Amino acid sequence: MALPRIFISSTYYDMKNVRADLERYIRERGFEPVLNERGHIPYGSEERLEEYCYKEVQLCDILVSIIGGRYGSESSEGPYSISQRELKTALEIGRQIYIFVEKNVLAEYQTYKHNKENTDIKYPSVDDVRVFRFLDEVMSLPVNNPVAPFETSADITGYLQVQWAGLFQRLLQDAGRQKEVHLIEEMTSIIATLNRLVTFLSSEKTKGETAVRDILLTNHPIFRQLRSLLSVPYPVFLQTRADFHAWLGARGFRQFEEHLWDSPEAAEWFNDQRGMRTVVKIRNEVFNDDGSLKIFTPENWDVSNVTVSKYELTEQGPPMDDDDIPF
């Protein structure tokens, strides 16, 4: 199972104990800490060593940035230290970030903000005023810049405990809302289809009634039922009584004489094959007076409008017409 990888970014010598405490805390929670001094960053020979740190940041899920009074090693990329560049890399790619600043550094930063132009002031909490300049950048970030003060490693672990618990709870809520999201997406798709249909009917008022009829006729439930009852592998589309008669005839069915129908309310066709007689009955009420197919929706369709029965020819079955009498 993949574990969340958490990159710990800070200067080393002044934060050595804090980094060790954080490593232990992260491992106890089942996560994977990434620390340079533990050999967790694989180095190659093609680029500067610091580049491999930035690449490793991109492979992690979370970055914990600890800012103290030391500026640290200078980066070859602009006016930043390597630890500052690690934080900027995580910001650029949108990683989850937690930033911690030593309390005395954060307190003296307020003094620095009021005396930026005075270069004669010495700040005992930092060894380089560029620490404060970088804090200026961090504080001005529009997003992803929560800053928490700390005195001991326990302050950091306590803060992370609460934050990660909240992150986990939000993940559970988001997972529970997936069904709602899928339903909303489906409804959005249906609404878009209806909007297109409304637009079409509104712009083609003279053709609107015909368009709706064509849509309903194409999806008439009688076609689905006939395909199922007669095991027809291809789509069926018929519009009149004559179409049904011709289609059934093409499939080997002949129509009984009307006086042989079981009821005058349903026309009957038969097909004799392999010792079996198949009888199809279609009620007359599915057609209009002019012989055209009436429009039905699945909700008001009665499956008894179409029936298919099978009989063995050796047994007494339904009456045959005169052409079937053998004498």
Three-class HEC string of 259-295: HHCCCCCEEEEEEEECCEEEEEEEEHHHECCCCEECC
B/e letters for 256-292, b = 16+ CB within 10 Å, e = fewer, are beeeebeeeebbbbbbbeeeebbbbbbeeebbeeeee
For the chain, give every domain's residue range.
Answer: 5-175, 177-217, 219-324
Question: What count of other Cβ atoms lies within 10 Å of the Cβ of residue 245?
Answer: 18
At 201 the pLDDT is 61
Helix, strand, coil shares, percent, the chain, to 5? 50, 15, 35
DSSP annotation string for 164-201? HHHHHHHHHHHHHTHHHHHHHHHHHHHHHHHHHHHHHH
- Tens digit of pLDDT for each residue in 54-85? 999 999 999 999 999 999 999 987 789 999 99
Domain 5-175 sits in CATH 3.30.465.10: no
Is residue 10 within 8 A of residue 19, CB to CB? The reply is: yes
Low-confidence ranges of the chain (pLDDT < 50): 317, 324-327
Please tell me the pTM assigned to this model. Answer: 0.55
Is residue 262 within 8 A of residue 326, CB to CB? The reply is: no
Is residue 274 within 8 A of residue 296, CB to CB? The reply is: no
Q: Please, what is the Cα angle at 85 between 83 and 88, to 5 degrees?
A: 115
